[in-house]
Chains A and B, each alone.
Chain A
């Protein structure tokens, strides 16, 4: 019998409501708005109340995919990561770092974004980093 509530932050709009993700035996079963959050004081919008639903959706991507003979096929992490790293090295050598561009995201964490732009700038050597939501 394992019921847990874990404090999280909404991945939808910029309000940044926080809530408890409720799990029973490792499965997400519900969302409860945090009554002690200064942002939302125990309230959520319709999207927030259902925010646990898509996480364990059967439609999630679960394996790395690599295009072979025109088709995306499941491969191991090693194969996918090696492919990407080798290809990046080769293209950088042939066309220079500015032939490589990155899209960071308003949907991933600060830490994810930081590491991505650091790789672009310090690893690849380009400032070609942007993201899709430019409010």
Chain B
């Protein structure tokens, strides 16, 4: 998010999902699309059927690798090196789109100087990807009439996550593969309404619509709209909130619809922080580990029990309609917040979500033309600034970036925050399984999904299995510098020797007991995707 916004001026997916089916080359990196975004995979399959070249780069041999024209397994944490290496070849061969670079971007010379250093030889050494494969990717991507990049958490959940994303943005600007139909850079949002949560100002430094809180004009505008005095300084990000709880500067944490005990790295640290809160409020649809620590638990209504909107990964705002009454005494989240606000002394009196959307449209330029009546069709893709605007399928049309000129960033590759050593000799990575979602609160309460995949597991290569003398289904013990879990062994060639994969949905084999909380310095995404681990057969 921060990476793309820095380069283009907007952090969202540049194209709509359907457009992917029309691309000529698609470079998929760090996205296990068939498991995590199945309906995007649908478009990749269709693109392939239409004759597109599909290139997959992932440390694990994911399902999409089987359909790809080229699959490369880059070393964990080597993404920036891989991308720089591809850019090196493109420039050396003169495949860059100089016209586009000259007209629409800045910072090219510094970037060019930096990627000089990423010769194919060095890139191969850092990433394990052969020179021939590097050339194939560079040529197919640069020369495609419509080239698209698709990425997900495999790129962002690193201490170098923001850098990785900037590197992908570099690649798109270098080749002019942006701002046209089926052509762009497409981050796949992990959760259904991450896009919406960001759009609505669920971030410490911006009001709804990415309007910075420390800009006096914005403050004045919102102070007027909301009839209140507003704080001029940016707020705390999650890790700083936890630190604040620990050192006593934060007293209250009000958590809606999240389970930070499971979704944050380094669970023990989170637990200590949460226990220090003077008031911990958890508002959710299911009980979970964080709720168990709370002082107050408020039952929210689920998606099926209320009206509202979600904004999907392609920026499409869609209506959900109330299908059933809320269970028990549960209430829609906005109603609960409104009641607390009224008792607190800041009056609110929305009669319905439609009214809230009308207010959102007034203060959020991207949503300016959105209202419930218009949403009854196929939804609207923002930016949709006014009532007559049809919505926007792809961003940055004609190379006109949201920030003015697109900005190249010269990015050196950095090693992961933790690397393997004698004591912890294997690489651990985490991800999704196709049946489950996030921390499992919803899917694991769905009887048939639970039946399809009742428990967690750890994928290891047959080489590792032999070395340890374990067979399929036997218990493994995984230990990192932070903790230990046990999980059943799944022996598969999907992971290379020296690597272990654990899905992150299972409380009793919680991958985040193990993962490294080291954070990306800019956007504070933790390094879920790589750390060092020791593997034993469980006693």
Q: In the complex, which of the residues A8, A47, A84, A125 contacts B321, with contact meaning CB atoms closer than 8 Å?
A: A8
The verdict on B351 contacting chain A, using a C-beta distance below 8 Å, is: no
**Docked CA distance A96–B197 (Å):** 26
> Size band of the B side of the interface?
35 or more
The A2-50 residues at the B interface (CB cut-off 8 A) are 4, 6-18, 21, 23, 26-28, 36-40, 43-47, 50
The verdict on B289 contacting chain A, using a C-beta distance below 8 Å, is: no
The verdict on A133 contacting chain B, using a C-beta distance below 8 Å, is: yes
Q: Contacts A14-B195, A21-B324 given; 7 further ones with Cβ under 8 A? A: A39-B18, A55-B305, A64-B297, A109-B193, A110-B193, A112-B334, A116-B202
* Total A residues in contact with B, Cβ cutoff 8 Å: 99
Contact A99 B192 (CB under 8 A): no
The A68-87 residues at the B interface (CB cut-off 8 A) are 72, 77, 80-87
**Residues in B lying within 8 Å of A, measured CB to CB:** 1, 17-18, 36-40, 42, 152-153, 156, 187-205, 207-208, 213, 222, 226-231, 233-238, 241, 244, 249-258, 260, 263-264, 278-279, 281, 284-287, 291-292, 294-300, 302-306, 308-314, 316-325, 327-334, 336-341, 343-346, 348, 350, 353, 356-357, 359-360, 378-379, 434-438, 442-443, 445-449, 452, 523-525
Give the nearest-CB partner of A79 in chain B. B296
Q: Which residues of B contact A55 (CB under 8 A)?
A: 302-305, 324, 327
Contact B251 A95 (CB under 8 A): yes
Q: Which residues of A contact B337 (CB under 8 A)?
A: 112, 115-116, 119
Do A125 and B308 form a contact, CB below 8 Å, given A59-B445, A64-B297?
Answer: no
Distance in Å: Cβ of A113 to nearest Cβ of chain B: 4
**Docked CA distance A114–B260 (Å):** 20
Give the nearest-CB partner of A33 in chain B. B39
Contact A89 B345 (CB under 8 A): yes
Q: Which residues of A contact B344 (CB under 8 A)?
A: 85, 88-89, 119, 123-124
Contact B318 A18 (CB under 8 A): yes
Q: Which residues of B contact A39 (CB under 8 A)?
A: 17-18, 39, 312, 314, 316, 318
Contact A6 B323 (CB under 8 A): yes
**Docked CA distance A77–B283 (Å):** 13
Do A110 and B199 form a contact, CB below 8 Å, given A13-B192, A45-B39, A103-B256?
Answer: yes
Q: Which residues of B contact A67 (CB under 8 A)?
A: 294-296
Do A84 and B340 form a contact, CB below 8 Å, given A16-B310, A130-B238?
Answer: yes
Q: In the complex, which of the residues B230, B313, B339, B435 contacts A122, with contact meaning CB atoms closer than 8 Å?
A: B230
Q: Which residues of A contact B241 (CB under 8 A)?
A: 101, 103, 128, 130
Distance in Å: Cβ of B416 to nearest Cβ of chain A: 18
Contact B447 A15 (CB under 8 A): no
Q: Which residues of B contact A88 (CB under 8 A)?
A: 252, 279, 340, 344
**Docked CA distance A128–B257 (Å):** 17
Contact A53 B446 (CB under 8 A): yes
Instruction: Give the interface centre of A44, A123, A130 by most chain B CB atoms within 10 Å.
Output: A130
Give the nearest-CB partner of B299 in chain A. A61
**Docked CA distance A103–B282 (Å):** 10
**Docked CA distance A78–B340 (Å):** 10
**Docked CA distance A13–B204 (Å):** 24
Q: Which residues of B contact A53 (CB under 8 A)?
A: 445-449
Q: Which residues of B contact A107 (CB under 8 A)?
A: 191-193, 257-258
Contact B204 A122 (CB under 8 A): no
Q: In the complex, which of the residues B197, B257, B296 contacts A65, with contact meaning CB atoms closer than 8 Å?
A: B296
**Docked CA distance A128–B252 (Å):** 11
Q: Which residues of A contact B203 (CB under 8 A)?
A: 129-131
Q: In the complex, which of the residues B42, B299, B320, B340 contacts A119, with contact meaning CB atoms closer than 8 Å?
A: B340
Do A8 and B323 form a contact, CB below 8 Å, given A53-B449, A103-B255, A110-B311?
Answer: yes
Contact B196 A11 (CB under 8 A): no
Q: Which residues of B contact A91 (CB under 8 A)?
A: 251-252, 278-279
Do A109 and B329 form a contact, CB below 8 Å, given A81-B339, A114-B201?
Answer: no
Q: In the complex, which of the residues A9, A15, A124, A130 contacts B320, with contact meaning CB atoms closer than 8 Å?
A: A9
Give the nearest-CB partner of A91 in chain B. B251
**Docked CA distance A14–B332 (Å):** 21
Do A62 and B194 form a contact, CB below 8 Å, given A53-B447, A103-B253, A134-B523?
Answer: no
